[in-house]
Amino acid sequence: MDLYTTLSENNLLPQTILVTGAAGFIGFHLCKRLLAQGHRVVGLDNMSNYGADLKYARLKVLGILRSQAEHFDTISSSETHNEMFQFMRLNLQDRQALPKLFETHQFDTVCNFAAQAGVRYSIENPEAYIDSNVSGFLNILECCRHHKVPRLVYASSSSVYGNNESVPYEETTTVDQPISLYAATKKSNELMAHSYSHLYAIETIGLRFFTVYGPWGRPDMALFLFTEAILNNQPIKVFNAGNLSRDFTYIDDVIDGVETIVLKPSKGKETYKVYNIGNSQPISLLDFIDTIEKSTGKTAQRIMMPMQAGDVSQAWANVEHLKTDYDYQPTTTLDVGVDAFVKWYKSYYCK
């Protein structure tokens, strides 16, 4: 049975989908899933310097060589997926190259997962966040508007909740007090999307991600940093003396949810939606470290540190709306997810 037949039997037709941030953690996994389901994918990424080698390695899995991905504004076809996956290195805020891409391809859906990520780095380099997360997002909205793209799915963040003490976080919670510029840019994305949905009837769906982890994960995330340090007998920094909790969500569960949102018709007539996408089971930082120690078979050297500027003490998602509308159901336990990451890390870095 071919992929087209499989799609047809599920009342789905092959789509042409733009994925920005295609060399990033979530974007890469989404591209893999969409391609496996028989959809045509165009990927964009600016290949920023942070974690660049890992980004190029992710693209190689998708059939794009480094020699192809290094050049700006040049579209390349995958060596493994041919024309079904094409990639272009592009700054999201480029107001000439991005509209030209939309003119060339009629996208059924745009998935905007490109962003300058990370809370702490936004304190050091705020301009990068405005360029990518605000100016770049406006460029995406304008391209969707002028080229009649019916649906935009975009990455927001649990960071918009700030230090809200009412948990679990619900989408109806007021999020007017961001405590980092990163969070402020994500809140601005939701406001901008709302205005474009209202003015131009573009369906926009914002996803507030909660601490996504797993194989091929970002080098600045706690799981990567802790695993690297523990395996190399280096100390780890434990902020706020470990009195933190996060809603750790495994990448496969996240992609299950995103895939359903991207491919299936929405319920209801609202053109603007925002969903939490998490595991709905907060884990303390100390329990998280214990799980990594178990998986690596080594004990961490812990340096207790004060709370970092811009960090929040807890994050916990209520995902009932996503369950109701899209049957979202995360199933991966922390020990299984961490073990999968550690195995990947060893296979990639400890050859």
Instruction: Specify burial of residue 341 (Cβ count, 10 A radius: 0-12, 13-18, 19+).
Output: buried
Residue 87 DSSP SS3: strand
> Catalytic: which of 182, 196, 213, 275?
182
Instruction: Report CA-CA distances (Å) from 188 to 106, 136, 155, 183, 204.
Output: 27, 12, 12, 9, 14
Half-sphere exposure of 142 (CA within 13 A, CB side): 16
- Residue 259: which of 271, 267, 251 has the closest Cα? 251
Residue with tokens 């998708």: 62
Please report which residue ranges of the chain form alpha helices under DSSP H.
3-9, 25-36, 52-61, 66-69, 97-104, 119-124, 126-129, 136-146, 181-200, 222-231, 251-263, 285-296, 320-326, 334-349
56 is catalytic: no
Name the region of 142 (left: φ>0; alpha: ψ -120 to 50; beta: rest). Answer: alpha
Gap between the terminal Cα atoms of the chain: 38
Which two tokens mark 201? 């009837």
Beta bridge partners of 20: 44, 112
Which one-letter DSSP state was computed for residue 154?
E
Instruction: Specify burial of residue 26 (Cβ count, 10 A radius: 0-12, 13-18, 19+).
Output: buried
The residues carrying an active-site annotation are 182
